[in-house]
Amino acid sequence: MQDELRADGFETFQVIAVAIDGNVDAIRSFAADVSFPVLIDAGHLLTELYAVSNVPTVLLIDEDDRIAMPNWSAYGTDTFSEFTGVSADRQHDRIRRWVREGDAGISEDEARAAVGDLTADEEAARLHFRLAVALQERQDADGAERHFVRAASLAPHDWTIRRAMMPLRGEDPFGQGFFDLYQEWLDDGSPYHGLSGY
């Protein structure tokens, strides 16, 4: 999309990808041959600064550093649209319209109301997650596990905590644990810090 819009004369359109993930090799294979910067956020800074609770999430940020579209559940392809009822095409059309015409399709009031602030527990969960990652790097598996458990109990519906820790704890993030987590999240009303089904 960046190449297409730039070819159309919108040369100042810039995609910036941020991997909420410390697995650099996996990210590198995802991001082979892309023409935009790919950042590695192993410590989950972005999820703290922008109250992101799941990925993929996109944000639109304008020339004046204003958030034109806050956390917006993203659909790179239509793989998940059966689940969500939202097509990737519709989202891509909205992004194109914003780049071309400056209309993100959402009022400032809606944008302001879209993302609830992190709770104190969700904030603390991010710090526990960060400590767990740091302790893993020190080969302190018990210490890391203590903080992973604490993070999960403080932010049970946050995918950037619960699912992100699965591979770090030797669990398959696409296995049964994921489906159990998905059901748990649905049962609790699909909480998300941002716009989904939009």
What CA–CA distance (Å, rounded) separates 8 from 145? 50
**Cα(174)–Cα(163) distance, rounded to whole angstroms?**
9
Binding another protein (rule: CB under 8 A), the pick from 86, 88, 149, 166 is 166
Among residues 10 and 179, whose Cβ is nearest to another protein? Answer: 10
Those residues whose C-beta lies under 8 Å from the C-beta of residue 155, and which sit 6 or more positions away, are 53, 121, 122, 125, 126, 161, 162
Does 24 bind another protein (CB under 8 A)? Our answer is yes
Which residue, 124 or 149, has its beta carbon nearer to another protein? 124
Residues 57 and 73: beta-carbon distance below 8 Å: yes
CB atoms inside a 10 Å sphere around CB 40: 14
Q: Where in 34-63 is the site for another protein (CB under 8 A)?
A: 37-41, 45-52, 55-63
- Verify binding: residue 101, another protein, rule CB under 8 A: no
Residue 113 C-beta: closest distance to another protein, Å: 9
Task: State which of residues 3, 26, 84, 153 lies at the interface with another protein (CB under 8 A).
Answer: 26
Q: Which stretch binds another protein (CB under 8 A): 78-86, 158-166, 183-191?
A: 158-166
Region binding another protein by CB under 8 A among candidate stretches 12-20, 80-88, 180-188: 12-20
Q: Shortest distance, CB of residue 28 to another protein, whole angstroms?
A: 6
Which residues, in sequence order, are CB contacts of 76 under 8 Å at separation 6+?
56, 88
Vertex 12: Cα angle to 34 and 52 (nearest 5): 65
